[in-house]
Structure 1
């Protein structure tokens, strides 16, 4: 993945001058970072001074500052904006060269300053854990799970196309924590395979998969990860012009069609942001026929406004997400015609940040949010089987500091969450409230040539059922209190200029969910009779990982081996029993010791400017420690191969998604065969005046291969999607 970088070279001026000479002229050129071509109509602004200019057809500009210390912002509709602070009293140059990265390569604004440089650990996280630009458009699917399923170390849990959710190294549920612009996504997707993630991936700028010590700023679960979706509903930067984008997405396997529009309007120091998208998808076609009741209809809209000032911003945002989808039926324990689920989430957010400049206290970021979530599961005759409602309040403050000496830019975080969980329909779990307080610290530091990141977190949780009672099925339903400490340490040592080795050590914890504690009845769409355990202790375990990372101009490699030992791993497990009132299989929650171990690797070969080859592989082996039996829902060895050819503004390629068979299964779990699925893709991006266009065409499963995802709860009915054509078009504009 290419990176945004900005290189300012100031070549002539008055050395040692303490004041700005009158009418000092700053000149420069703005170039495309990929091709080196000049960029016409880029806007150069001296921020806060109302001084502007634009580049000519050769990318050249000149501008006259009225102060010796100023900040330049360079923007263009088709490129990422860039910032640079210039102090002419200490710098000698006055000629500037600016390289901008096209939005189609990295669709996100990046601020570049002299006060922070990326370590190799951060480079690895960005290289392997960020999906953006061309890669994002190529892999864009109907859900976040579909979009991320072939990333290194990731897989997809599903129960039909709509309720798909990412899994990291065999770990799912609450061990994978979702945020949007750093704010927790409040839904029930972690609690059951039939529950969808309330994130529409089409309009995102980038997707970050965060692992290691930094996850402790959000969650105590270090064995898993954080998936952060970046879209800046609340704007953080001030644009000079009205800026927007529009797009369509279509695919043939489900006759799906999506349309989206986003718009940002600046007014003095205010930025208004808004957008709308709608998706309609019919039942999906597989190689063996139509998967009945696998449709999905979704619409989302959002609005936000920010007040942006020289060293920060503060803003308010609202996002609505509505989704109606089907869960397929037609197998033992399922409803013959399936179940329909109707979801709505409304989120109101306040967010801001401020930088203080060099010093111990560098800056502060904060947010507060209120979310309303409603979830209704219905049979085909209209009868409501399950209903859930959540009102969630979250808040977080992060204080960034630079301690000096061996330490880099660290963060002290405090976050709180209060949740009100109500239940209706034929669900007999106890409605409950919960409260969480977390205090976290993240510190990067260096010792000689070695680079380290350390994180610690203490979390205190209270889960309080609204009706305290003794249940003959599960025991005493009562208030539970939990206190947990988590920690993580990563280190990396550069063996030479190109090769690095590293490690990670982690202690992880997780509070049991309300469902794991207090469930006692049928779950309609999950086709299960769920039994909780109010005596569960916190989940906990230790992890160790070693990895190697190498990169030069032609070759890059990342490989890791890991082992996770959980002394108390909470999971709902098929007991083999049937509840004969509902004829549903009984799933009971329990805490047991388990061990997961495996590896992941990614190799990239770039023999020249036109070709790129990439191969990744991921494998996890999970088993119960007491009897060495396989854990349920563990993905097999899987990965993807990709070959890409670049020619001018075009990109063409082929890929192959593969998996070995999974014969290591838990009791009452179905094994799956291996598969090899081929695809083709093409992409072009170009500018017409003030419009920047991106067009991607993907041909998936070109041989209409029959294959089944081991983590799919409905794999016994029909396989995954057959031959599919996906078309994605986006246009960016400003005026």
Structure 2
């Protein structure tokens, strides 16, 4: 361990504190910013919520967003190595779980394949919001499973009276990794400014036992090709007055990480993002506020072979706009209505092929729309997608009963440079009620219907994907998915002891999934040829159901003194007459206990996952049960106006061999072994 690194970071933080002043005693209410009414997490109806912030977020922070959230109720991760791990919500993954940054789409390609990392990092986040259930009413058809919103406030919605910020440095033993991050917020007159930056680098991580379970010849020690290297940052500002605010930001991300598959691919990822945000108060009679957001994303990543040469280049350029208004109460109904548009240009091209999509953009419209061919060498042909949506969400209270109702209509069009143009009309709606039948207790019922259009890769894929060793074949005749969901909840929201329980049943018509046929083909899709071989994966449809239950009991979760938590979650997804859905999460239960004083925090968490043998037709190996034990210890000292926190995190204390059922690589890539994380964090 490089102790000079941590000591230097601490010295820098102390120096910064000499120029800054803390605003002690200020308590900020944690609200769900992705909800139109900005309710707290216990007040949601349409979207059951969890908000990670403060010490809880910092303790759970990991290399990837999926790993950071993997212990939350109803959430698991794709676990595709240390660099790429996407959240899976209630057994639904990929395009069905929408990734947002400050309420706007991340616009990466992580929904296409599990080896693609989410281009949004939690290292500088103020909070991370998890919304489970069909969130399609507000954020689009891609959110049938739910959404995750990373809130970093790069465009400040309010002025800080004094210069504030925080910075952190940490070192991890399992991968000899080091990470630093920091944020700074201040104001000059009516201009609010924000700056953030983060950097992380780690080597191959240690694994318990053998790479392949029970196979000593597969190797042990460190998992090959599991290292990561990332840096990113953002700059933003806003002009704030009594009428509201208007602001802009720019951010960038460079991420390079290994994929610990047999092929040993490396992914080199880059993203530049530009955003504007605005809020106007009382601009029209009957309107409380109006918001307008716009974001442009330029994303690309290359999948590098063993020789470091790109094998496939993925690109996505996207422009999203969002306008919404909050109207004053009309006959007791208070609500939000708005419009959302998105334009994107996506392609996945094999190495050695020139960028042909620019010259074809204006040509394909006159081609035979029934031509199902693909540009030679394209894994996915260059495709323009356009969507336009209108939504309305309303809320009204009848005594102890609060009712939410909403509708969304959306039009989606896919236009590949070669092949069949497709258009989809999507209609979604939801009705929910929360009845506070006695003080501190409530029960809720939600009925919803949400539709999802097939993605570009599901429609038009026709080429090899080296990182997953699959040859993907899309189907341009795919129909839209329709999800019908019912959810019942019961919760206690007041007092030291609080609890909640959810039951849900989701019926999905025309569920789209990648069916592995069992054929082995070469890079051109032919059987029986020499050279590199790929598993053939064909995008297909069938009716599916996903059902499950979640529950947790918490004692004094945010107060001083003793605290504790018990939780359990389970879900099961099945295809009609075709067995289980692939990569289904295992049933889990766990417990945590902790103690908090003004300076000290200590805690431990135990999670047990049962074995999972409910496999899809093309899956061959069940996942074994495991126990995961984590612990934390921290001490915060006051140095004038600086809060300096020294912390130690222990992860997988038992050094258990963990192979999660939701990972495509579970047979050859276990999760990291015992890991100690040492760090220092300053807040001023």
Band the TM-score falls in, shorter-chain normalisation: 0.7 to 0.9
> C-alpha displacement at 1:388, in angstroms?
1.2
- Asked whether the equivalents of residues 423 and 429 of structure 1 are also in contact (C-alpha less than 8 Å), the reply is yes
From the superposition, tell whether residues 493 and 631 of structure 1 become closer, same or farther in structure 2 (CA, over 3 Å). same
From the superposition, tell whether residues 277 and 121 of structure 1 become closer, same or farther in structure 2 (CA, over 3 Å). closer
Q: Does 1:655 find its partner at 2:580? A: no
Q: Does 1:704 find its partner at 2:646? A: no
Structure-2 separation of matches of 1:436 and 1:231: 26
Q: Match of 1:590? A: 540
> C-alpha displacement at 1:121, in angstroms?
5.6
- Asked whether the equivalents of residues 48 and 132 of structure 2 are also in contact (C-alpha less than 8 Å), the reply is no
SS, match of residue 716 in structure 1: coil
Structure-1 separation of matches of 2:40 and 2:343: 36
> C-alpha displacement at 1:340, in angstroms?
0.8
Structure-1 separation of matches of 2:631 and 2:681: 20
Q: Does 1:545 find its partner at 2:487? A: yes
Q: Which of residues 316, 322, 328 is equivalent to 1:396?
A: 322
Q: Match of 1:720? A: 671
- Asked whether the equivalents of residues 46 and 404 of structure 2 are also in contact (C-alpha less than 8 Å), the reply is no
- Asked whether the equivalents of residues 211 and 222 of structure 1 are also in contact (C-alpha less than 8 Å), the reply is no
CA deviations on 1:252-280 (whole Å, 9 max, x unpaired) are 11111111232223211112222221110
Q: Return 5+ residue gaps in structure 1 as ranges.
A: 1-74, 80-98, 111-115, 468-476
> C-alpha displacement at 1:123, in angstroms?
6.0
Q: Which piece of structure 1 moves more, 161-170 or 498-507?
A: 498-507
What is the 5 A alignment of 1:56-135? 77=22, 79=24, 100-101=26-27, 122=43, 128-135=49-56
Q: Which of residues 396, 400, 417 is equivalent to 1:449?
A: 400
Q: CA RMSD in A?
A: 2.3
Q: Match of 2:349? A: 424
What is the 5 A alignment of 1:632-711? 632-669=582-619, 670-711=621-662
Q: Does 1:619 find its partner at 2:570? A: yes
From the superposition, tell whether residues 109 and 511 of structure 1 become closer, same or farther in structure 2 (CA, over 3 Å). closer
SS, match of residue 682 in structure 2: strand
Q: Does 1:411 find its partner at 2:326? A: no
> C-alpha displacement at 1:687, in angstroms?
2.8
Q: Match of 2:68? A: 147
Q: Match of 2:459? A: 517
Q: Return 5+ residue gaps in structure 2 as ranges.
A: 1-19, 210-220, 351-376, 522-526
> C-alpha displacement at 1:461, in angstroms?
0.7
From the superposition, tell whether residues 617 and 183 of structure 1 become closer, same or farther in structure 2 (CA, over 3 Å). same
Q: Does 1:350 find its partner at 2:307? A: no
Structure-2 separation of matches of 1:436 and 1:340: 33
From the superposition, tell whether residues 364 and 497 of structure 1 become closer, same or farther in structure 2 (CA, over 3 Å). same
Structure-2 separation of matches of 1:718 and 1:109: 35
From the superposition, tell whether residues 265 and 502 of structure 1 become closer, same or farther in structure 2 (CA, over 3 Å). closer
Report how many aligned residue pairs link the two structures: 615
SS, match of residue 301 in structure 2: strand
> C-alpha displacement at 1:663, in angstroms?
0.7
Q: Match of 1:290? A: 222
CA deviations on 1:179-208 (whole Å, 9 max, x unpaired) are 111121010000101100011211100001
> C-alpha displacement at 1:592, in angstroms?
0.8
CA deviations on 1:12-66 (whole Å, 9 max, x unpaired) are xxxxxxxxxxxxxxxxxxxxxxxxxxxxxxxxxxxxxxxxxxxxxxxxxxxxxxx
Q: Which of residues 385, 390, 395 is equivalent to 1:434?
A: 385
Structure-2 separation of matches of 1:293 and 1:722: 16
Q: Match of 2:148? A: 227
From the superposition, tell whether residues 405 and 649 of structure 1 become closer, same or farther in structure 2 (CA, over 3 Å). farther
CA deviations on 1:55-91 (whole Å, 9 max, x unpaired) are xxxxxxxxxxxxxxxxxxxx97255xxxxxxxxxxxx
Q: Match of 1:462? A: 413
SS, match of residue 395 in structure 1: strand
From the superposition, tell whether residues 314 and 712 of structure 1 become closer, same or farther in structure 2 (CA, over 3 Å). same
Q: Match of 2:360? A: none
From the superposition, tell whether residues 108 and 546 of structure 1 become closer, same or farther in structure 2 (CA, over 3 Å). closer
> C-alpha displacement at 1:302, in angstroms?
1.1
> C-alpha displacement at 1:730, in angstroms?
2.1
TM-score by length of 2: 0.86
- Asked whether the equivalents of residues 47 and 134 of structure 2 are also in contact (C-alpha less than 8 Å), the reply is no
TM-score by length of 1: 0.80
From the superposition, tell whether residues 255 and 508 of structure 1 become closer, same or farther in structure 2 (CA, over 3 Å). same
CA deviations on 1:337-369 (whole Å, 9 max, x unpaired) are x00110101001111112229973100111111
- Asked whether the equivalents of residues 48 and 131 of structure 2 are also in contact (C-alpha less than 8 Å), the reply is no
Q: Which of residues 302, 309, 315 is equivalent to 2:247?
A: 315
Structure-2 separation of matches of 1:503 and 1:170: 21
Q: Match of 1:250? A: 171
- Asked whether the equivalents of residues 617 and 640 of structure 1 are also in contact (C-alpha less than 8 Å), the reply is yes
- Asked whether the equivalents of residues 32 and 129 of structure 2 are also in contact (C-alpha less than 8 Å), the reply is no
From the superposition, tell whether residues 552 and 253 of structure 1 become closer, same or farther in structure 2 (CA, over 3 Å). same
Q: Does 1:175 find its partner at 2:126? A: no
Q: Match of 2:10? A: none
> C-alpha displacement at 1:245, in angstroms?
2.1
Structure-2 separation of matches of 1:165 and 1:217: 21
The structure with the larger Rg is 1
Q: Which piece of structure 1 moves more, 203-212 or 483-492?
A: 203-212
Structure-1 separation of matches of 2:383 and 2:680: 45
Q: Does 1:478 find its partner at 2:420? A: yes
From the superposition, tell whether residues 178 and 554 of structure 1 become closer, same or farther in structure 2 (CA, over 3 Å). same
Structure-2 separation of matches of 1:570 and 1:126: 24
> C-alpha displacement at 1:463, in angstroms?
0.3
> C-alpha displacement at 1:541, in angstroms?
1.7
Structure-2 separation of matches of 1:127 and 1:78: 32
Structure-2 separation of matches of 1:664 and 1:584: 25
> C-alpha displacement at 1:231, in angstroms?
0.8
